[in-house]
Amino acid sequence: MTVLTAERLRVLVPALSLAVLLAAVFWLQPRAMSYTGLNLLFNLAVPIALATIAQMLIMMVNDLDLSMGTFVSFVACVTATILNSDPVVGTLILAGCVAVYATLGIVIHLRALPSIVVTLGMSFVWGGLAVLLLPSPGGTAPDWIRAVMTSKPPFVPMAIVASLIIAASAHWLVMRSSFGVVLRGVGGNERMVERAGWSVLRARAAAYAMAGVFAVLSGMSLVGLTTSADANIALRYTLLSIAGVILGGGEFVGGRVSPIGAVIGALTLTLAASFLSFLKISPDWQIGAQGAILIIVLAVRLLLNRRETRAARS
């Protein structure tokens, strides 16, 4: 019974951390407990959640993407410029970006290259392309993207509705579909996947391609919220996406991820920024404070894991 309780607590840690942080925000600012307040609190949650799912797909196959932030920034620049003026060309460019991501997965696997090194190099490529495309902040969000991201569904703000859809879709893709089983198998034991008759190369390419799709959606949704773009608009998304996955119960190895937990982690990080603003903490210190929140949650997870291990041995 003790093991079961520890396991449940370990799974509920991301949700509990979000609930505690939300309660603290409501205590500091009771007016946030409304439709408009929640909309402001989670306004930027959707692009962060999408980037977190993209990072989760890469981490699921035991890799790490250090170009996530610059890639999302490049997509935002394409969306605010080319996609707005010439939708066909813009769509082809974004589709090409997804193809590049799939190619990265193939190259990393065939040449046995460290994903950190390859994606770090690609971060300079995406960043350079973003600066060439949009040297200074500007551009305009396509009307249809702006309409979707600023829509106001009844009862619950768009950010929360979209986050639920993202979590449900990612959960089905990773945890319920045969495609997700193969990807998790690649992260857990490549040899067993090969013995079962599946191609590890194709699985890695598919994982990177799907990550590219979610990252493209992240950049597009970000422009829909900000109405313009900048070559540096999403640089923090690299660390935020990694933190969101870990905060949501994911691990760096073994294909152990939680799509729902990853979205909750993204929501927690988004809410943390608002919470720190209410405490009147300088933006220069907010990144450090977010890191402290992450460390606290991970420490709780570690204690629960140790408790579960001891209970299992006894």
Phi, psi of 24 (to 5 degrees): -65, -40
Q: Report the chain (314 residues): mean pLDDT per 10 consecutive residues.
A: 47 81 86 85 92 95 94 97 95 97 95 93 96 92 93 90 94 90 87 86 94 97 94 92 87 82 90 76 69 75 69 64
248, 262 in Cβ contact below 8 A?
yes
| CA 245/CA 224 separation, integer angstroms | 24
pLDDT at position 3 is 45
Name which of 33, 45, 35 is nearest 272 in CA terms. Answer: 45
For the chain, which residues make up each domain, given as ranges? 2-313
pLDDT at position 12 is 76
Handedness of CA 97, 101, 107, 108 (dihedral sign): positive
pLDDT at position 309 is 65
pLDDT at position 311 is 64
Name which of 219, 215, 208, 217 is nearest 99 in CA terms. Answer: 208
Phi, psi of 195 (to 5 degrees): -65, -30
The second-level CATH assignment, the architecture, of 2-313 is: Orthogonal Bundle (1.10)
* 154, burial (CB in 10 Å: exposed 0-12, middle 13-18, buried 19+): exposed
Residue found by looking up tokens 């986050």 in the block: 163
Alpha-carbon Rg for the chain, nearest whole angstrom, is 20
| CA 103/CA 106 separation, integer angstroms | 5
pLDDT at position 277 is 73
Coil, helix or strand at residue 154: coil
Residue found by looking up tokens 């927690």 in the block: 268
| CA 253/CA 87 separation, integer angstroms | 39
Name which of 1, 143, 6, 124 is nearest 73 in CA terms. Answer: 124
pLDDT at position 267 is 92
Q: Which amino acid type is present at position 133?
A: L
- 138, two tokens: 């500007």
